[in-house]
Structure 1
Amino acid sequence: MSNRYHWNSIAERAEAEAHYMLETGCTVRACAEQFGTSKSTVHKDVTERLRRENAQLWAAVRKVLGVNLRERHLRGGDATRRMYEKRRRARLAAADKGGK
């Protein structure tokens, strides 16, 4: 995947990621996908590097990360429910075709 963003420094990248997370409330995974970096890079940028460069912005992003952490189990449960619902529909569709 080509990186469609260009930063003059790692600190600029960390701030851009932080602003994006604040605007959208997205997860680290979604932010990494948006910026074409890895999840571990985004996490390190917004937790460690940002803390040194811009403590006020870091504190705001920390709240978003906290919300995402608290909601993580809910998103996982939704994904599992959707997966089994999809399997159920496929099984029912196959049974309907077999019975005709």
Structure 2
Amino acid sequence: MKDYMRERILEIADYIIDTKATVRQAAKVFGVSKSTVHKDMTERLLEINPQKAIEVREVLEFNKAERHIRGGRATREKYIHL
């Protein structure tokens, strides 16, 4: 694995852990695709730092479980403003 990839993966992992960010939010901040962030966090991070991978997985699982609630709020806000 290239050094720039390792550095990016660790930076994104720290960002997700610190801010409880979603994959989409992290992708926007770091200027990479959602697919890249997802692959980095679910596969590559495990090779680099298994403990940090567990922490990131917990945040991502929480975000996934709450996804339907966020979608409902967004739809509600959309129609309130119309």
TM-score of the two chains, using structure 2 as the length reference: 0.93
The residue number in structure 2 matching 1:54 is 49
The residue number in structure 1 matching 2:62 is 67
Identity fraction in percent: 49
The residue number in structure 2 matching 1:85 is 80
Find the partner of 2:27 among 32, 39, 42. Answer: 32
Secondary structure in structure 2 of the residue aligned to 1:26 = coil
Unpaired runs of at least 5, structure 1: 1-6, 88-100
Secondary structure in structure 2 of the residue aligned to 1:9 = helix
Find the partner of 2:13 among 2, 15, 18. Answer: 18
CA apart distance, 1:67: 0.6
Residues of 1 paired with 2:9 and 2:3: CA distance? 11
Secondary structure in structure 2 of the residue aligned to 1:17 = helix
CA apart distance, 1:22: 0.4
Offset from partner CA, 1:36-68 (integer Å, 9 cap, x none): 111110011011000111111100100000110
TM-score of the two chains, using structure 1 as the length reference: 0.77
Structure with more contact order per residue of length (Cα contacts < 8 Å, sep ≥ 6): 2
Over the aligned positions, Cα root-mean-square deviation in angstroms equals 1.2
In our comparison, the structure showing a higher alpha carbon Rg is 1
CA apart distance, 1:8: 3.5
Aligned length: 81
Task: Show structure 1 runs of 4+ deviating over 4 A.
Answer: none
